[in-house]
């Protein structure tokens, strides 16, 4: 059976450096799972560790990759900042790369903090290929929440039970779940096409106080590395907060007030740091739902502990 190693966790926990270390030890290749790092020209602020890397083009795959410290890193720099990219795109490309890594006798190592990408990669995307049913939506527009809940429970009791309380009270999400439940054939086909592999999921974590200190230092480091200049370059290339992902991407949206001469650089840095704190909290909320994660605190001798865990699993 093929092996798939995953290293996940909130921002600033050292996932990439651990991934590179394990890739060297086990002849692995990194597959990024970071929704911010898919955009070209958005490097410093998103934390792409490619400063001393080398860009290569794989003719067989039709995809470029970075070689960082001689370790291939896939799924960075996929689209321009004004292009759309979603979890379905990620799923398709990741499952193009991973089998190729297996075929070359190497270990794919998924590294990133975008929990939605990782969950989709491991479990598949149940709603992929299920188009909106506009007639159904129009019909159910006047339905009460209780009626929608009852319909979903009759169609797919398991899906209904898996919904959290907020989603169970959200008419739009209930209708979408009903759409998906009505398209069982699409779901079955998606499950049947899912890949068979043995995975080990390593999660890195830290107490909030420690994590926030690491985040703050990293933001300050990225400012020194040229975060302001990177935003300026994107603006000069024609991208802005309205026509690209800059307006919704953490680390870029915080600079808008500065470039509009409404805020100081110090205000931007503080706002950016606090936004990263909030993001780390949301990441942990997501990852805690994934019960198969083996957690390691970065406040301990975690690298040695992780290596032992991986060695036992991989051997």
Domain ranges of the chain: 3-124+194-314, 134-192
Residue (of 121, 126, 114) closest to 39 by Cα position: 114
Query: Which DSSP string do the residues of 5-53 spell out, in sequence order?
Result: EEEE-STTS-HHHHHHHHHHHHTEEEEE--TTTTBTT--TTTT---TT-
The predicted pLDDT at position 188 comes to 46
SS (H, E, C) 143-190: CCHHHHHHHHHHHCHHHHHHCCHHHHCCHHHHHHHHHHHHCHHHHHHH
45, 252 in Cβ contact below 8 A? yes
Q: Which residue has the tokens 């995975």?
A: 199
Check residue 195 and report its DSSP letter: P
Chain-centre distance for alpha carbon 76: 12
pTM reported for the whole predicted model: 0.81
Pick the CATH number of 3-124+194-314 from 3.40.50.20, 3.40.120.10, 3.90.380.10, 3.40.50.300: 3.40.50.300
Handedness of CA 48, 50, 51, 56 (dihedral sign): negative
Helix (H, G, I), strand (E, B) or coil at 282: helix
Number of H helices, E strands in the chain: 14, 8
Average pLDDT for runs of 10 along the chain of length 315: 96 96 97 97 94 83 88 96 89 92 96 95 71 86 93 83 80 87 57 69 97 98 98 98 96 98 98 98 94 95 96 95
Q: For CA atoms 123, 129, 131, 136, give the dihedral sign.
A: negative
**Virtual torsion, Cα 122, 111, 276, 281, nearest 10 deg:** 40
Backbone angles phi, psi at 68, to 5 degrees: -105, 115
Neighbours of 86 (CB within 10 A): 12
d(CA 273, CA 279): 10
Burial 153-184 (b: 16+ CB within 10 A, else e): eeebeebbeebeeeebebeebbbbbbbbbbbe
CA proximity to 276, closest of 200, 223, 225: 223
Cβ contacts of 55-60, under 8 Å, gap ≥ 24:
60/100
Q: Determine the longest span between alpha carbons in the chain, in angstroms.
A: 59
Residue 161 is predicted with a pLDDT of: 77
């Amino acid at each position: 059976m093929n092996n798939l190693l995953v290293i996940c966790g909130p921002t600033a926990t050292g996932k990439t450096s651990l991934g590179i270390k394990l890739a060297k030890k086990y002849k692995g290749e990194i597959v990024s799972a970071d929704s911010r790092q898919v955009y070209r020209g958005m490097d410093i602020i998103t934390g792409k560790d490619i400063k001393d890397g080398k860009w290569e083009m794989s003719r067989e795959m039709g995809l470029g990759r970075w070689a960082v410290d001689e370790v291939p890193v896939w799924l960075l720099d996929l689209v321009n900042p004004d292009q759309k990219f979603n979890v379905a795109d990620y799923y398709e490309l990741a499952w193009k790369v991973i089998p190729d890594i297996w075929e070359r006798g190497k270990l794919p190592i998924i590294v990133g903090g975008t929990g939605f990408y990782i969950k989709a990669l491991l479990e598949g995307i149940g709603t992929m290929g299920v188009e909106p049913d506009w007639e159904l939506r129009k019909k159910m527009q006047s339905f009460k929440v209780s009626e929608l809940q009852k319909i979903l429970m009759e169609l797919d009791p398991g899906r209904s039970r898996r919904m959290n309380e907020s989603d169970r009270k959200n008419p739009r999400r209930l209708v979408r779940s009903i759409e998906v439940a009505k398209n069982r054939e699409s779901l079955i086909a998606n499950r049947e096409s899912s890949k068979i592999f043995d995975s080990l999921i390593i999660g890195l974590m830290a107490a909030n106080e420690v994590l926030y200190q690491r985040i703050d230092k990293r933001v300050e480091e990225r400012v020194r590395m040229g975060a302001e200049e990177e935003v300026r370059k994107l603006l000069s290339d024609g991208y802005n907060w309205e026509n690209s992902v800059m307006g919704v991407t953490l680390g870029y949206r915080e600079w808008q007030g500065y470039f509009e001469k409404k805020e100081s650089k110090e205000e931007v840095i503080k706002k950016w740091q606090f936004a990263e704190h909030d993001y780390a909290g949301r990441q942990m909320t997501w990852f805690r739902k994934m019960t198969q994660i083996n957690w390691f605190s970065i406040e301990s001798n975690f690298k040695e502990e992780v290596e032992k865990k991986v060695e036992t699993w991989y051997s």
